[in-house]
Structure 1
Amino acid sequence: MSVVLSYEIGELERDILFLEQGEQALLERIETEHPGVLDQAREVADTLDGLRFRTLISDRDGTVNNYCGRYGTSTQSAYNAVFLARFAGSRVDHPILLTSAPLDNGGIVDISTTPPGSFVFAASKGREFIGLDGEERRKPVPPGKQALLDKLNGRLKIMLGSPEYETFGLIGSGLQFKFGQTTVARQDMDGSVESEVSDAFLAKIRDLVAELDPKGEVFRIEDTGKDIEVLLTVDDTNGEGGARDFDKGDGVRFLAQELGLDMALGPHLVCGDTGSDVPMLEAALDMCDHVYAVYVTQDEKLADRVKQVCAGAMIVDRPDALVVALNMLA
């Protein structure tokens, strides 16, 4: 297995440039690496200019932070922390980073470098969070479901401790025990694992979940191609009965209630980069019409989906464009 350190090295080089030569030198390097990114940033900044947002609800990785091959070493760069904190402090009443990653013990708070109190860190798709006041809160999980998740986690820990499967704990997201869900990598962004081996591991996890939950009432599996997410179900509130996945839209509604966000009062800014981030936008729009969206993607189908949900949504092709735009607005 090979290890690609492009994120770690690249972000360190950017930080050195930022700290020694200043912001303009950094922006020139970003534009050299990705021609046209500053034009995208200016377009977003021009559209949002003059607005103060009730909330910023944003995903982290791939949205306001460049992707890294390993979550555990995707430490936020200094320039990124400065740019985001500037925007949050000057333009947002309730800045929220909402991620699928865990909260701590290798989670978002451990790899973030923004000053304390700059953001609400919402993790596990919003099931748990640390508020601006530093207080931690979590959405309760029924004891029976938690016991089964604990059993699954124990089996996975043993499995990835064996030579046959230890690679999957070292790549990408690794093995993450979250609140109400568990994620285990089966591939990374560099394709370090042979596809046959990755697919066989996915089948092994499916068999394990089926063994523990033969009726399929407690767990749902989401396969992103890189990560296998095993999620505890929640009761369906659409009148159809049964159970469904907990998504980031559920997380937004939980945060709105717990933090007293009064989402009926806009405007709000929602940012994401994958299909799993679209429920955040849908939930915000269910509560308020005054919502702006910026999504980071080169996937035309995802861009079309986002624009169907929010007609005025803006699309940029990399996190740098969004991060620079937010700094321009600060």
Structure 2
Amino acid sequence: MPGLQIELQEIKKLKQFYKLMTQTRELRFKLVGDIFNRQAIDSESVESLKNALAALENIPAKHNRQLLLIDDSKQIKVDLTYETDELKKDIYYLDNGEDKFIQYLDNIHTGFMQYVNDGVEKLKGLHFNCLISDRDGTTNNYCGRYRSSIQSIYNSVFLTRFAKKKVDNPIIVTSAPLKDPGIVDVSVNPEKTIVYAASKGREFIDLTGTRRSYPVDDAKQVILNRLNEKLVKMVNTQEYEKYSLIGSGLQLKFGQTTIARQDISNSIGEEESLKFLSVIKEMVSEFDPEYKNFRIEDTGLDVEIILTIDDESSGSKDFDKADAVRYLDSELNLNLDKGPHLVCGDTASDVPMITAAMESTKDTYSIFVTKKEELAQNVRAICPGAIIVPEPDMLVTIMGLLST
């Protein structure tokens, strides 16, 4: 296994951390392939994952936050719970097998088996035309930094097995870009198994490995490209590089650009973060002074620069996930009028995917990951038989058990 072994190493800088996580992605991708090819898992691979975990756990910490250098002088606190927890789960999964691993999940999630068994009971015996699912917070546990949200091995095995055995058209719809960094860079599913629909569904890689994209007005795309070029140059300077390394970083999506101004650990001072927000707004106004082409949305952590689309009934509007489902149907011949479908999400922005599927056929099921009762009620109002679970691990385990 030359080139894929991970040595025990000291991690001091954020860039070193990202490099290590990229190594775990390459190794995990290989191991998932080995599992589906029924090849034995070699002990060196498990040892490599243990080395990666040890490297993360050895990073100096303060108040349960690891300390990493963002440049030669600026130190930030980061929460590496996702990265360490998923490595621990993968190591346990590889060392002990699936049955004991599910018991392990039952021990760390309250009510785990009750939720899982209820979901399996409601969906058993069904073969789905389409699986249409969000990723982060839905099939994948939430991570504070997109670039290091590497999919775990067990997660990929459960999801891929379900996609192969129980679904004709498996699709992940995410707001993240396809690549550099994007969903392809953080996923470890075997290639040509799942359709990756990125940039909120505006661009996708189909099951033949071909990239396709939603038609965007040429003039608008030129403006966005010019803006992106300027943003890339800016974050390559010492003053602004930090914004490409924290949280969501800089994501050049198709029809939309995201730039972090803060992360969940508040690594950037509030005054400095707000000043950066003003810099971004001023830059956008240079390219689109009347805001005819872009809409800016500030989440407090990220600045979203969104290219509007023309709608016959309402003029310019944002491209949402209902638009994504309809676009994918037209491109992939999904035959949405023929169910059953399974739609999965975790936020209000995912609900339009259920609506779009239900418009085509009532033979639509849903699993939503949420602890918010209001969102759960909204989902059930649209899809009465919806299954509500509080953790992504429950959703993927339901899928895994349905496809054994």
Q: TM-score, normalised by structure 1?
A: 0.94
Note the alpha carbon deviations across 1:156-201, whole angstroms, 9 max, x for none.
Answer: 2233234443322111210011111111123333443344443443
Shift, 1:324, TM fit: 0.8
Note the alpha carbon deviations across 1:21-46, whole angstroms, 9 max, x for none.
Answer: 11122222222222212211221111
Counterpart in 2 of 1:255?
A: 328
State how far apart, in whole Å, the 2-side matches of 1:202 and 1:283 are: 34
State how far apart, in whole Å, the 2-side matches of 1:285 and 1:314 are: 16
State how far apart, in whole Å, the 2-side matches of 1:305 and 1:191 are: 32
Shift, 1:231, TM fit: 1.4
Counterpart in 2 of 1:77?
A: 152
Equivalent in 285, 290, 308 of residue 215 of structure 1: 290
Equivalent in 141, 154, 157 of residue 229 of structure 2: 154
Q: What letter matches 2:379 in structure 1?
A: V
Choose 140-149 or 253-262, whichever is displaced more: 140-149
Counterpart in 2 of 1:233?
A: 308
Counterpart in 2 of 1:302?
A: 375
State how far apart, in whole Å, the 2-side matches of 1:322 and 1:190 are: 27
Equivalent in 104, 125, 130 of residue 179 of structure 2: 104
Q: Percent of counterpart pairs with the same letter?
A: 51
Q: Contact 1:187–1:198 at 8 Å: present in 2 too?
A: yes
State how far apart, in whole Å, the 1-side matches of 2:137 and 2:262 are: 17
Sort the Cα spacing of 1:272 and 1:197 in 2 relative to 1 into closer, same or farther, 3 A: farther
Structure having greater relative contact order (Cα 8 Å, sep ≥ 6):
1
Q: Contact 1:101–1:123 at 8 Å: present in 2 too?
A: yes
Shift, 1:116, TM fit: 1.5
Sort the Cα spacing of 1:167 and 1:140 in 2 relative to 1 into closer, same or farther, 3 A: same
Asked if 1:285 is matched to 2:358, the reply is yes
State how far apart, in whole Å, the 2-side matches of 1:114 and 1:84 are: 8
Sort the Cα spacing of 1:96 and 1:174 in 2 relative to 1 into closer, same or farther, 3 A: same
Asked if 1:28 is matched to 2:103, the reply is yes
Counterpart in 1 of 2:90?
A: 15
Sort the Cα spacing of 1:73 and 1:200 in 2 relative to 1 into closer, same or farther, 3 A: same
Equivalent in 321, 343, 347 of residue 274 of structure 1: 347
Choose 228-237 or 188-197, whichever is displaced more: 188-197
Name the larger-Rg structure: 2
Q: Helix, strand or coil for the counterpart of 1:2?
A: strand
Q: Contact 1:124–1:180 at 8 Å: present in 2 too?
A: yes
Shift, 1:325, TM fit: 0.9
CA RMSD of aligned residues (A): 1.7
Sort the Cα spacing of 1:21 and 1:271 in 2 relative to 1 into closer, same or farther, 3 A: same
Q: What letter matches 2:242 in structure 1?
A: T
Sort the Cα spacing of 1:48 and 1:199 in 2 relative to 1 into closer, same or farther, 3 A: farther
State how far apart, in whole Å, the 2-side matches of 1:194 and 1:39 are: 43
Q: What letter matches 1:6 in structure 2?
A: T
Counterpart in 2 of 1:320?
A: 393
Counterpart in 1 of 2:199?
A: 124
Structure 2, unaligned runs of 5 or more? 1-75
Asked if 1:3 is matched to 2:81, the reply is no
